Each structure stands twice: as C-alpha cells, then as structure tokens.
Amino acid sequence: MAIFRHLRFLFGGLSSDAGAAETRTNLVRTVSSCVQGMNLSSLSACLAAVVCSSEQPPLRPLGSASGDGASMIIISVLEKARGLLNDPHAALCYTMPSAALWKASFDAFFGLLTKYCLTKYDSIIHSLLAQGTDIAEAGSEVNKVFGKEMPMELLHASLLHANASQRQQLLDFAQKSMPLAGYAAHGSTNRQITSESVPG
C-alpha cells in the first residue's frame, strides 16, 4: 500500500532521465498487473491509502505531458473493483462488509477527486480571466484547456461506481465546466490559450 500513499512522490513530476522515466513506466505496469489479482478488500485498502496520503495525488488526464502514472494506477483499481462487483461468480468471494468497505473507500476518494476538479476549475477560470480572455467568445479554446487539465478518464471510471447523488454532482460539474455565455473578462481575446498557461 506504500505506493498508493506516495503517488505524489513517485509520479508528481517528469524526469529528464530516460532511465528514470522507464522505471516509472515499468512501475505503473507492475502495480496495475498486481491490482488484477486483488480482491475487493485489498482494492478498498489501496483507494483508502490514496485518500489518507498526506500528499495530494497527481490526478491528471491520461496522456498528460506532466505524467499520468498515478491516474493509470487508480483507474486500474476502479476498473478491477467494477469487474468484481459486476461478476456474479466473484460476488461469492467477498462479503457484505467487504462491499461496504469498498463503498466507504470510494466515497472518500470521490470527495477527493471532485474537490480537486473544482479547485482545478477555479484555477483555470482565474488564469483565463487574468489573461483578459473573453470566455464566452473563446469557447473552443477554453474546452481544449479543460480537456488537457481535467482527469476525465478518472471521472468516467468513478462514474461507474457513483450513486445517484454522486452522478448528479458529476453532471452539475460537467455543466459548470462548459464555457458560460456572458461570463467574460475585460481586455484582449487574441492571446492563445494553452494548458501550460494554467497554474498547477
């Protein structure tokens, strides 16, 4: 579980050293492979370790230039748990307390993920307004920034475990993160918007 407690340390930034980058890639593959052999209780412990970590895990979209190892590992946990919960044969191998433990761990992670996304949303909007961007007129460019910054794959994997209330939260966030008509800033709109211009 130590790996799940230290995702920020392991995958928080990219290394210019080719050997270190390869080591991280191999670590992601190894951990994801190990996850496939875990039961529901072990998966719950992994997700709980992410939530209980003293460091904010780097919840980035897959393919992020800053690295996506942490997201890939967490997605593997979510997908494996979904497979177990949907498999009637696997259901014989875990108890109701195990299912309840998973739900509690997921709920805690969902709170962490949505808080991160809302903070990232506010950061993006603040950065764009500081650039003098008219968000209403720069809709497609704004969407590109959100696409590069928001961990959409993690949100999608979480959706498969979400209850009705959590699904509504995701829907509300999806609607909020679309460019809002009339939500504009003063100044020039000619500056190109890039994910690199957004802090965090």
Mean pLDDT of 161-187: 72
Domains of the chain by residue range? 2-197
In order, the DSSP letters of 159-182 are HTT--HHHHHHHHHHHHHTSPPTT
Cα–Cα dist 31/3, whole Å = 9
Taking all residues of the chain, what is their mean pLDDT, rounded to a whole number? 84
- pLDDT interval class at 195 (50, 70, 90): very low
pTM: 0.84
In order, the DSSP letters of 30-80 are HHHHHHTT--HHHHHHHHHHHHH-SS------TT-TT--HHHHHHHHHHHH
pLDDT 10s digits, 98-133: 889 999 999 999 999 999 999 999 998 898 888 887
pLDDT 10s digits, 54-93: 999 999 999 998 899 999 999 999 999 999 998 877 666 6
